[in-house]
Amino acid sequence: MLSNAHEDHKVDDDSSAKPVFTINAAPDDSLPDDFYADADDESQHNSLSIETMDSKRFHRQSRQLRQSMSGIHLSLQDRDRQDLTIATPEEFIKRFGGNKVINKILIANNGIAAVKCMRSIRRWSYEIFRNERAIRFVVMVTPEDLKANAEYIRMADHYVPVTGGTNNNNYANVELIVDIAKRMAVQAVWAGWGHASEYPKLPELLGKAGIVFMGPPQQAMWALGDKIASSIVAQTAKVPTLPWSGSGLVCSDWEDGKTFKIPPDLYRKGCVHDVNEGLTAAHEIGFPVMIKASEGGGGKGIRKSESTDDFPQMFRQVQSEVPGSPIFVMKLAKCARHLEVQLLADQYGNAISLFGRDCSIQRRHQKIIEEAPCIVAEEETFAQMERAAVRL
pLDDT of residue 254: 74
Among the residue ranges 75-84, 177-186, 259-268, 338-347, the one predicted with the least confidence is 75-84
The whole-model pTM stands at 0.69
CB 52 within 8 A of CB 17: yes
pLDDT of residue 220: 86
Q: How far apart are CA 188 and CA 103, in angstroms?
A: 9
pLDDT of residue 100: 92
pLDDT of residue 85: 65
For the 104-215 domain, the top CATH level (class) is alpha beta
pLDDT in tens, 203-253: 999 999 999 999 999 988 888 889 999 999 999 999 999 999 999 999 887
| Homologous superfamily assigned to 225-331 | ATP-grasp fold, A domain (3.30.1490.20)
**CB-side neighbour CA atoms (13 Å) of 233:** 20
**Percent of the chain predicted with pLDDT > 70:** 78
pLDDT in tens, 29-42: 433 443 333 334 43
> Higher-confidence residue: 123 or 65?
123
Q: How far apart are CA 21 and CA 98, in angstroms?
A: 19
pLDDT in tens, 78-97: 334 445 568 899 999 999 88
H or E element that contains 380: helix 379-391
Residue type, 313: Q
Q: How far apart are CA 189 and CA 253, in angstroms?
A: 34
pLDDT at 384 over 90: yes
**CB-side neighbour CA atoms (13 Å) of 319:** 12
Question: What phi-psi label fits residue 335: left (phi over 0), alpha (psi between -120 and 50 degrees) or beta?
Answer: left
What is the CA angle 357-12-18, rounded to 5? 15
> Higher-confidence residue: 71 or 133?
133
> Higher-confidence residue: 297 or 162?
162
- The DSSP code for 66 is P
pLDDT in tens, 323-356: 999 999 999 999 999 999 999 988 888 999 999 9
pLDDT of residue 365: 79
160 contact partners, CB below 8 Å, separation of at least 6 = 138, 139, 140, 141, 180, 183, 184
pLDDT at 199 over 80: yes
Q: How confident is the model at residue 192 (pLDDT cuts 50, 70, 90)?
A: very high
pLDDT in tens, 274-313: 999 999 999 999 999 999 999 887 778 999 999 999 999 9
pLDDT of residue 84: 59
Residue type, 303: R
**CB-side neighbour CA atoms (13 Å) of 154:** 6
Q: Where are the domains of the chain?
A: 2-84, 104-215, 225-331, 339-391
Q: Give the N- to C-terminal CA distance of the chain in Å, as an integer.
A: 20
pLDDT of residue 302: 95
Distance of CA 29 to the CA centre of its chain: 35
Burial class (CB in 10 A: 0-12, 13-18, 19+), 62: buried
Q: How far apart are CA 363 and CA 134, in angstroms?
A: 42
Question: What phi-psi label fits residue 387: left (phi over 0), alpha (psi between -120 and 50 degrees) or beta?
Answer: alpha
CB 339 within 8 A of CB 385: yes
Q: How confident is the model at residue 257 (pLDDT cuts 50, 70, 90)?
A: low
Length of the chain: 392
Instruction: Quote the mean pLDDT of the chain.
Output: 82
Average of pLDDT values for 175-204?
A: 96
Question: What phi-psi label fits residue 120: left (phi over 0), alpha (psi between -120 and 50 degrees) or beta?
Answer: alpha
CB 186 within 8 A of CB 160: no
Average of pLDDT values for 270-276?
A: 97
